[in-house]
Structure 1
Amino acid sequence: MPTMPTIAQLAVGTPSTRRRHVDLLRAAAITAVVVGHWLVMTVVRTPDGRLTGFTALPHLTALHPLTWVFQVMPLFFLVGGVSNAISWTRHRDRGGDAAGWLLGRTSRLFPPVTALLLTTAAGALVARWAGVPTAFVTQAVDLVVLPLWFLVVYLGVIALTPAMHALHRRYGLAVPALMLVGVVVGDVLRLTTGVELTAAGNFAFAWLAIHQLGFAWQDGSLRLTRRRAAALLGGALAGLVLLTVLGPYPVSMVSVPGAAIQNPSPPSLALVTLAAAQVGLAVLVAGPADRWLARRRPWSAVIGINSVVLTVYLWHMVAAFAGAVVLDAVGLLPSADVHSAAWWWGRVPWIATLAVVLVAFVALFGRIETRAMARKVAAAAPSGATAVKAVRARHALVFVVGAYLAAIGGLLWLASSGPGPHGPFVVPTGALALVLGAAAVIRVVDRRGPLSRTLPCRVRR
């Protein structure tokens, strides 16, 4: 079993060419997601004694502008575009193909997702067997699978990266510009017809456009100087005010139950405008961030967060559920009256408790992600440069792409199924089988190698 280098070793061994600000942006974004979800989550006991939760956002309309800070999904896709462009370009330049690259990108993603789903399914099964009310188990599971929405889209973006990067190399910024037109058309249709489904294409157009901007930022074709970045940031914020205050879009950049339009679902022109502001801000902070991260301690902290970033994301809502149960058991559950001072003061022990619980979950399950990273590093690290393993992965492309499609379909099924129960595991059994089956296929294909993702290695004598 390959061992993961320590954080100190990774910090010391980081090449000077690494764009450290990208890692910082990823770490900051995941922190914003976690804190944002926890901040507005409120738990209360129903008259029949059952714990239930709801978001305080519908009652806190004056704070909706703060969602411009906490809505960082565009930032994830931007830095994802940078990372995927670097990884795919290096892989392609060494003679690798799409099958090998896609296989390598799943090696870190699928193990943590599999662990979460297996734990959730087993926990739901045991809880129902033990006599826990089905309504309580159903709500808990629904909360746990909530973060899977992001993975549905991001897996699709990864799968399309080789093709979309080829389009970027040929047409450059014309690609995201054309996708922006698609977003505008989708929004015009839903605003004139009132049918959200008419803008469903925005899920692809918006997130792929932001991902393409990551490609352009990575290779320099974005050509944003600090002055231009500042102008983009200011112009985008001004446009956002016009679209939300004077225009038809809600101020909140996250979903608010009961709202006529949800900016993130499907992504609206307002959300894309927020993404433009985040692009400008990212460029502005890049230089100062790299200089700060040249210091060992802050860079080590960023490495530490990124080494378990997926685990943090997947388990932060589980931590919220567990933390609520603990606080309720000891009689310290914060006030559920979102209009009271007690609710605001209660955010402090609430978030602190959830943070402690999340740290425990990361300590327990984070090693799954770090082990997956160690296997990826071991597979990718060249031990010499005298021979290239034979390419035998052309036939694997259909299996890898098929696994991606199965995983995307299963995750979409899980995330959109709504409150159950949908079977013995509460979540839909078919959806669970799709995701776990996809992970199994990836594992089998990965072990059958050598694949074209394998780098030059020393010939053993």
Structure 2
Amino acid sequence: MSRDRYVDFLRAWAIVLVVLGHWLITGLVREPGGAISAPELLAVVPWTQWLTLGFQIMPLFFLAGGRSAGDSWSRARAAGGTAAGWVGRRSLRLLLPTAVYSGLVLLAVGICAAVGVDSGTLSLVGWAMGMQFWFLPVYLVLGALTPVLHAAHGRWGLRVPLAVAAAAALADVLVLAAHAPYVGLLDYVLVWGVAYQLGFCWGDGLLTRNRTTPVALAAGGAVAFAALVGPGPFPVSLILVTGQDPSNTDPPSVAMLAWAVAQVGLCVLVAPAVRRWLVHDRVWRLVRPVGGVSMTLYLWHMLPVLVLAAAFYLTGLAPEPAFGSPSWWALRVPWLLLLGLVLAGVVRLLRPVDRGLAAVSGRTRPAAAPRRPWLVWLGLAAAVPALARFAVQGFAPDGRFPVLPAAGLAVGTALVGLPWDRARRGSPEAKDALEPAA
């Protein structure tokens, strides 16, 4: 089965917008005493919340992930693979680079704490280095549920995402009306699970059999979003704003669900035109490298912010016009360019690490039918909560080393990788090992 360049393009496009969005809203200020603070742009300059409509692109990650996961699981099942073996292989490709990244950040946290770095500064930096982690536990859970979700898709098709969407809406009602915040945690899986499940439907042609389906998704999602953020109770921002209640992202709201559905419909509508564009080798040579390092970009893209903060803000070299002023916005252009140059250097330095992780993932990973499948599930049970803790509290909560989450991620990654099996060249499992992690 040939790879769909459009799915790879979606990954690349999504990661580029995520990186640019995080960089754009990150504004640094040098305080009179020399400390560095990071005012919340979306709260200080409220009109910028409208920009999140363009930069909140995570539905495409889950749509592309569902599309590729459905194809991959179908091949593995046809070749005699088991759910535990497939889930273990897919999970390990996410956990290995994440564990390496986390280990290096935690090492830096431990050193900084030992030499007496200010706890507030350490906590802020630790949060900045883990802010993107929310995606990982959700994606790992959906990956673990893929065999069940795909079986449901095979039986009920489009009725599955409709049922999941209804469950997400019900959970949102309970959060708002019954003040049951813990019920909202389900929406992390339910809301993003709709986009993931629609990826199965897209792969099987259920979204493309007639033009009315993607049009209905795009138009219906957009109209529902407008109603929910206009006369409805939800804010326009699709990124968390401190103090904003209700929020569209913490947990994902029914408004976020509507926007995700609209994005899916638009994505399917423009697919033929973009595929014709991607046929050209010159275009593909620009897209393919980004997709190949998508996990590296996702994990490491906040490191350049720390580098520039140390080089220009701690030293007082950075010009500092009024936060959110026209001059401040003009300086966003060199800010983004410098961050891009630093990130390109980071990616280049990490190239040997990426090759090493790809080799480990391709040659040593859970067997297609591991003898101890419970190790895979136990490993995920340890790793997922650890990643969620990093996403919420960062790598240095209150300036302290996070012992339990660090141990959970290390043990979880090891357990997922314990049922080792050497890949057979040319097998469906070996081919899947070469796919992007997300």
Pick closer, same or farther for the CA change 1:240–1:434 going to 2, 3 Å.
same
Q: Secondary structure at the match of 1:393?
A: coil
Show CA shifts across 1:290-312 (max 9, x none).
Answer: 11111112212222111110110
Show CA shifts across 1:254-293 (max 9, x none).
Answer: 1111101110121111101101111111112211121111
Quick one: which amino acid aligns to residue 410 of structure 1? A
Q: Which residue of 2 aligns with 1:384?
A: none
Q: Does 1:186 align with 2:171?
A: yes
Q: Secondary structure at the match of 1:250?
A: coil
Quick one: which amino acid aligns to residue 103 of structure 2? L
State the Cα distance separating 1:238 from its structure 2 match. Answer: 2.2
Quick one: which amino acid aligns to residue 190 of structure 1? V
> How far apart, in 1, do the equivalents of 2:78 and 2:375 lie?
23
Q: Percent identity?
A: 35
Show CA shifts across 1:167-217 (max 9, x none).
Answer: 111121221111111111112122223453342221121122221110010
Q: Does 1:393 align with 2:369?
A: yes
Q: Which residue of 2 aligns with 1:108?
A: 93
Show CA shifts across 1:218-263 (max 9, x none).
Answer: 1112345345423432332222111111111101111111101110
Q: Does 1:20 align with 2:5?
A: yes
Q: Secondary structure at the match of 1:263?
A: coil
Q: Which residue of 2 aligns with 1:404?
A: 380
Q: How does 1:27-42 map to 2 (within 5 A)?
A: 27-42=12-27
Q: Which residue of 1 aligns with 2:409?
A: 435
Q: Secondary structure at the match of 1:42?
A: coil
> How far apart, in 2, do the equivalents of 1:441 and 1:206 lie?
29
8 Å Cα contact 1:101-1:453 kept in structure 2: no
Pick closer, same or farther for the CA change 1:184–1:196 going to 2, 3 Å.
same
State the Cα distance separating 1:29 from its structure 2 match. Answer: 0.5
State the Cα distance separating 1:422 from its structure 2 match. Answer: 6.1
Q: Does 1:141 align with 2:126?
A: yes
Q: Does 1:156 align with 2:132?
A: no
Q: Which residue of 1 aligns with 2:434?
A: none
Pick closer, same or farther for the CA change 1:30–1:334 going to 2, 3 Å.
farther
2:229 to 237, 244, 252: 244
Q: Does 1:76 align with 2:50?
A: no
**TM-score, normalization by structure 2:** 0.90
Q: Which residue of 2 aligns with 1:48?
A: 33
Q: Please say which of residues 51-60 and 224-233 is displaced more in the overlay.
A: 224-233
> How far apart, in 2, do the equivalents of 1:253 and 1:37 lie?
13
> How far apart, in 1, do the equivalents of 2:354 and 2:395 lie?
29
Q: Please say which of residues 82-91 and 280-289 is displaced more in the overlay.
A: 280-289
Q: Does 1:359 align with 2:333?
A: no
Pick closer, same or farther for the CA change 1:379–1:392 going to 2, 3 Å.
closer
Instruction: Give the gaps of 5 or more residues in structure 2.
Output: 432-438
Quick one: which amino acid aligns to residue 29 of structure 1? A
> How far apart, in 1, do the equivalents of 2:347 and 2:211 lie?
37
8 Å Cα contact 2:371-2:419 kept in structure 1: no
Q: Secondary structure at the match of 2:7?
A: helix
Q: Which residue of 1 aligns with 2:203?
A: 218
Q: Secondary structure at the match of 1:246?
A: coil
Pick closer, same or farther for the CA change 1:123–1:376 going to 2, 3 Å.
closer
1:444 to 418, 429, 434: 418
Pick closer, same or farther for the CA change 1:31–1:224 going to 2, 3 Å.
farther
Q: How does 1:274-353 map to 2 (within 5 A)?
A: 274-329=259-314, 331-335=316-320, 337-353=322-338
> How far apart, in 1, do the equivalents of 2:308 and 2:211 lie?
43
Q: Does 1:272 align with 2:267?
A: no
Pick closer, same or farther for the CA change 1:443–1:235 going to 2, 3 Å.
closer
> How far apart, in 1, do the equivalents of 2:243 and 2:429 lie?
50
> How far apart, in 1, do the equivalents of 2:9 and 2:52 lie?
20
Task: Point out 4+ residue stretches in structure 1 off by more than 4 angstroms.
Answer: 374-380, 418-423, 447-450, 452-456
8 Å Cα contact 1:44-1:336 kept in structure 2: no
8 Å Cα contact 2:175-2:183 kept in structure 1: yes
8 Å Cα contact 1:224-1:283 kept in structure 2: no
Q: Secondary structure at the match of 1:303?
A: helix
State the Cα distance separating 1:325 from its structure 2 match. Answer: 1.6
> How far apart, in 1, do the equivalents of 2:241 and 2:306 lie?
20
> How far apart, in 2, do the equivalents of 1:95 and 1:53 lie?
52
8 Å Cα contact 2:81-2:368 kept in structure 1: no
> How far apart, in 1, do the equivalents of 2:430 and 2:105 lie?
37
Quick one: which amino acid aligns to residue 399 of structure 1? L
**TM-score, normalization by structure 1:** 0.86
8 Å Cα contact 1:111-1:369 kept in structure 2: no
Q: Secondary structure at the match of 1:54?
A: coil
> How far apart, in 1, do the equivalents of 2:203 and 2:147 lie?
15
Q: Secondary structure at the match of 1:351?
A: helix
CA RMSD of aligned residues (A): 2.5
> How far apart, in 2, do the equivalents of 1:310 and 1:392 lie?
24
Quick one: which amino acid aligns to residue 199 of structure 2? G
Q: Please say which of residues 76-85 and 95-104 is displaced more in the overlay.
A: 95-104
Quick one: which amino acid aligns to residue 296 of structure 1? D
Quick one: which amino acid aligns to residue 430 of structure 1? L
8 Å Cα contact 1:104-1:453 kept in structure 2: no
State the Cα distance separating 1:316 from its structure 2 match. Answer: 0.9
State the Cα distance separating 1:47 from its structure 2 match. Answer: 3.6
Pick closer, same or farther for the CA change 1:455–1:63 going to 2, 3 Å.
closer
8 Å Cα contact 1:335-1:346 kept in structure 2: no
> How far apart, in 2, do the equivalents of 1:442 and 1:251 lie?
39
Show CA shifts across 1:373-424 (max 9, x none).
Answer: 34555689xxxxxxxxxx883433101111112110111122223684468x
Q: Which residue of 2 aligns with 1:9?
A: none
Q: Secondary structure at the match of 2:145?
A: helix
Instruction: Give the gaps of 5 or more residues in structure 1.
Output: 1-14, 381-390, 457-461
